[in-house]
Structure 1
Amino acid sequence: MELVSESYKITRTFPDFEKFGLSNQMNRCAVSIPSNIAEGSSKSTDKHFNKYLENSLGSAFEWETHLTIAFNEGYLSEEKIKELEEKIKQIQKMISGFQSGLKF
């Protein structure tokens, strides 16, 4: 959830023409990460839950790609991208670790 707030915060600083482009994509990915985990937690088997964790992990990697694009376009400082890359990589590791603990 912290990443969602961070994503909305940084995309507000992007140029106006990115409102329906990169900003929208980044925020949708960020929201998708915890949303898929929440939805998957209601599933009756670990196999089904894992599918939602895979979707969440995919969104995390997609968000990381958008982050790189934002940096390459000059929307983020080097300091900010390093901070956010560390956060997203930690989330990716946590999701992968969670998947490893499932029994299916």
Structure 2
Amino acid sequence: MAFAVMINQQILPSFPTEEKWVLSMQLRRSLQSVPANIAEGYSRYYYQEGVRFCYIARGSLEESYSHISLAHKLGYISQDTYNVINVEVQEIRRLLNGYITFLKKNKRGDNEPGSAHRIKEDSIQYLSDLDIEDPKN
């Protein structure tokens, strides 16, 4: 959340007026989405739901970074500031990926929704028409 506060307080005010309702608003929303999705995932009962919300948070982080990169290319963010932001984004990405790994390792078993990535069924012998005796014979 500190990253979002820093961008909102230090970076967005320096954007030109014409970007107030476009790029700055998109960046503000994607930045707010990162900690909000982590918090929502944390409040869920199943670890796999937490993983799903962390994936959404990670997507929002990458969206934010894309907006920041665009702002840098447009000249709204200096190279020095961009370098500091880049290091911060890499650290958040590393922490978020570590948290996702932790959640995946601590799932509550195969009964947890989303924990199994395969179809399970009872062992059934499948028969074809050739395997079934014709009652007329």
TM range (shorter): over 0.9
Secondary structure of 2:14's counterpart equals coil
SS at match of 1:76: coil
When structure 1 is superposed on structure 2, of 2-11 and 67-76 the one drifting more is: 2-11
**Which amino acid in structure 2 is aligned with residue 29 of structure 1?**
S
Equivalences for 1:35-74 in 2 at 5 Å? 35-74=36-75
- Structure (1 or 2) with the greater helix fraction: 1
Between 1 and 2, higher relative CO (CA 8 Å, sep ≥ 6) is seen in 1
Which structure 2 residue ranges, 5 or more long, are not aligned?
108-137
CA–CA separation in structure 2 for the residues paired with 1:93 and 1:62: 16
Unaligned runs of 5+ in 1: none
Distance 2:37 2:87 in 1: 21
Which residue is 2:3 aligned to?
3
- Secondary structure in structure 2 of the residue aligned to 1:101: helix
Distance 1:67 1:26 in 2: 7
Larger Rg belongs to: 2
Q: CA RMSD in A?
A: 0.8
Structure 1 residue 89: deviation in Å? 1.1
TM-score, structure 1 normalization:
0.96
State the Cα distance separating 1:25 from its structure 2 match.
0.8
Identical-pair percentage: 28
Structure 1 position 6, deviation (Å) = 1.4
